[in-house]
Amino acid sequence: MNEQTEKNIGQSQHGLKEIFKRLSRAPLAMIGLAIVVVLVFTAVFADYIAPFGYADQDLMAAFEEPSKAHLFGTDEFGRDIFSRIIYGSRISLQVGFIAVGIAVFAGGFLGAIAGYYGGKADNLIMRAMDVLLSIPSILLAIAIAASLGPGLFNLMIAVGISSTPNYARIVRGSVLSIRNQEFVEAAKAVGSSDLRIILKHIIPNCLAPIIVQATLGVAIAILTAAGLSFIGLGIQPPIPEWGAMLSGGREYIRDYAYMTVFPGLAIMITILALNFLGDGLRDALDPKLKR
C-alpha cells in the first residue's frame, strides 16, 4: 500500500513536470504566464509600486497629459492614472479569481453530484443549469448584481453564479467518463464512502479540464466585472476599477483620450495573457495532442 502511494505521488509529480515542460515549449503561453505573474506581483505590492495613492486628488494637476511625473496622465480630479491602474489590478484579479473560485466550487459540487448519482438528481441539477445557461451570462450577472446592490463582494457573487453552469457541465461530463472505471469500482469494493470516492478518486482525475476552463474563466470573469462596472454596477468610486475608469473617462474622450486608452489597455493585456495561458494549458493537458 505504502509503496503504491509513493509511486503514485512520484508519478503525479512527474506528470506536473511533464505538463510544465510541454507548456514551456509554447512561447505564447509562457508570455501569458509571465504577464500574469507580474500582475499578481503589482496587485500584492501596489502600495510600494504606485507613486501616488489611488484616491489622492490634486485639482491643480487635473487633466494632465502623460508625462514623467504622471506616466499615464491624470484624471478630472488630478488623480494619477498610472497609480489607479496599479491599484485596479488588485480589484480585477480579486474579482476574477474569487468569482471563478465560487463558480468552480458550486459548479464542481453540482456537476459531481449530477454525474456520480445520475438519475433524478442529474436531471434536476442539469435542467436548472440549462435554465441559467438560457440567460446570456453577462445579462444574468447584470440581473444578479442589480438586485444584490453595489459592492465588490456582490459583484463577485454575481459573476460567480453566472459562470457556475459551465463548470457543472464540465465536471459532470468528466465524472460520467470516469464513474465506471475500474479504480472507482475497486474503491467501492473496499467500502469507501461516496464522498471519499468523489473527492479522492474522481475529482483528481478530472482536474485537467477544470484547470483549463478556470484559467479562461478568470479572463471572462474579469471582462464581465469590468463590463458591469462600466455600466455602473458593482464597484463604487473612488475605488479604482478598470471598467469604471474607462466609463469615467468616456465623458472626456474628445479632449483627453488617454484617460480611456490606458485602463482599456490594462484590461486587454490581462485578458490576452490569461487566454494565452489557458490555450497553452489546454494543449499541454490534452493527451490527444501529445507529440
Partner 1 sequence: MFKYIARRILFLLPVLVGVSFIVFSLLYITPGDPARMVLGDQATEEAVQEFRNKEGLNDPFLVQYGRYVYKALQGDIGRSYMTRRPVSDEILSAFPSTIKLAALSMVIAILLGIPFGIISAIRQYSLFDSVTMIFAMVGLSMPVFWLGILLILFFSVQLRWLPSSGFDSLAAMILPSITLAAQSVAIVTRMTRSSMLEVVRQDYIRTARAKGQKESVVIWRHALGNALIPVVTVVGLQFGHLLGGAVLTESIFSIPGVGRLMVEAIKMRDYPLVQGGVLYIAIAFSLVNLLVDLVYAWVDPRIKAQYK
Interface positions with partner 1 (CB under 8 A): 127-128, 130-132, 134-140, 142-144, 146-149, 219, 223, 226-227, 230-233, 243, 246-247, 250, 253-254, 257, 260-261, 264, 267-268, 271-272, 275-276, 279
Question: Given the complex with partner 1, which of 144 and 178 has the nearer CB atom?
Answer: 144
Question: Given the complex with partner 1, which of 68 and 127 has the nearer CB atom?
Answer: 127
Question: Given the complex with partner 1, which of 12 and 123 has the nearer CB atom?
Answer: 123
CB of 114 to partner 1, least distance (A): 16
- List of residues 6+ apart from 119 with CB closer than 8 A: none
CB of 71 to partner 1, least distance (A): 19
Residues in the chain: 291
CB of 284 to partner 1, least distance (A): 16
Question: Given the complex with partner 1, which of 198 and 285 has the nearer CB atom?
Answer: 285
For residue 67, the SS3 value is coil
For residue 19, the SS3 value is helix
Beta carbons within 10 angstroms of residue 270's beta carbon: 25
Q: For residue 1, what is its C-alpha cell? A: 500500500
CB of 105 to partner 1, least distance (A): 20
Question: Given the complex with partner 1, which of 15 and 232 has the nearer CB atom?
Answer: 232
Buried b (16+ CB within 10 A) or exposed e, 85-104: bbbbbbbbbbbbbbbbbbbb
Question: Given the complex with partner 1, which of 55 and 143 has the nearer CB atom?
Answer: 143
CB of 208 to partner 1, least distance (A): 18
Residue 275 and residue 219 in contact, taking contact as beta carbons nearer than 8 Å: yes
CB of 38 to partner 1, least distance (A): 16
As a whole number of angstroms, the longest Cα–Cα distance in the chain is 76
Cis amide prior to 238 (ω within 30 degrees): yes
Give CA–CA dist 244/152, Å, rounded: 12
